[in-house]
């Protein structure tokens, strides 16, 4: 089987307006070039779900006006500061938010991966999150003799998962290394779109050194080869973060006008 790479424009065309879009944390391989292409194509009304947090990617999409809602355990630029466009949109009531936790989001994706409606979780019992998440149900453990409450977390089934990885091969297999959460996202999602640094000359599943860290092509719908596709974010073991550009973004995001100018600059640089 062959899996011919597509252009970045064709890759992003696989994301419909209003799609429920799953994105990884900044350390896990963020498809930033594809994110800019989403903005270029005007794909709006997105329902973001982060796995389990986000930073620049979510802030960029929200600031550019392409997001209606987000379910997340947190959005922050980390050492570079607050995610100011995210914070401003929340304060203005421009986006809806479902507050979650890292374990709850992982459980929700795992439930979808397994094809079941929910997974139980204990760690959020006693927190104020339950008061704001009516879709999370507290029940009594049916196997316990005495009272034993547990929370049921409903499955999250994204329409699309989007991420960046180091390599793909001609069969469409994608090497994700140690980032096993990307496998869960791909299993849980209706479609998985991936940008990669380069094409691998052989079959990644044939090599015992790469096979354990490879997402099989059965779960990959489109691949685009985009070297430096995470910039200015890092790609673990391959591409360092552009600290100067991330600092510049954090400063620009304080002002809607400066943010818009920087986004236009990034779009022009990748046109």
> In which element (H, E) is residue 112 found?
helix 102-114
User: What's the Rg (C-alpha) of the chain?
Assistant: 19
Give me the residues paired with residue 195 across strands: 164, 224
Cβ atoms of 186 and 151 closer than 8 Å = no
pLDDT value for 264:
97
pLDDT value for 269:
87
Alpha-carbon distance of 9 to 166, in angstroms, equals 20
pTM for the predicted model, two decimal places: 0.95
Distance between first and last Cα of the chain: 32
Q: Can you list the residues of the chain whose pLDDT is less than 50?
A: 1
pLDDT value for 238:
85
pLDDT value for 237:
79
pLDDT value for 247:
98
8-107+156-269 is a CATH 3.40.1080.10 domain: yes
């Amino acid at each position: 089987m062959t899996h011919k790479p597509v252009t970045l424009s064709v890759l992003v065309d696989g994301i419909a307006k209003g799609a429920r879009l799953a994105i990884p944390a900044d350390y896990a391989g963020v498809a930033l070039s594809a994110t800019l292409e989403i903005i270029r194509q005007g794909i709006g009304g997105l329902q973001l779900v982060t796995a389990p947090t986000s930073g620049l990617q979510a802030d960029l999409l929200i600031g550019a006006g392409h997001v209606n809602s987000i379910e997340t355990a947190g959005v922050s630029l980390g050492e570079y500061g607050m995610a100011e466009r995210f914070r401003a949109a929340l304060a203005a009531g421009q986006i809806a938010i479902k507050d979650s936790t890292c374990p709850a989001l992982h459980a929700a994706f795992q439930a979808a991966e397994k094809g079941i409606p929910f997974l139980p979780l204990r760690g959020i019992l006693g927190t104020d999150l339950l008061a704001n998440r009516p879709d999370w149900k507290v029940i009594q453990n049916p196997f316990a003799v005495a009272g034993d409450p547990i929370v049921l977390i409903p499955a999250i089934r994204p329409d699309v998962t989007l991420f960046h990885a180091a390599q793909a091969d001609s069969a469409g297999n994608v090497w994700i290394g140690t980032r096993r959460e990307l496998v869960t996202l791909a299993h849980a999602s209706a479609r998985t779109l991936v940008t990669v640094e380069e094409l691998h000359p052989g079959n990644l599943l044939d090599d015992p050194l790469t096979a354990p860290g490879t997402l099989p092509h059965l779960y990959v719908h489109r691949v685009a080869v985009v070297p430096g596709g995470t910039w200015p974010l890092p790609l673990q073991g391959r591409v360092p973060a552009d600290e100067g550009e991330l600092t510049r973004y954090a400063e620009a995001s304080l002002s809607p006008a400066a943010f818009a100018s920087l986004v236009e600059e990034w779009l022009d640089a990748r046109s």
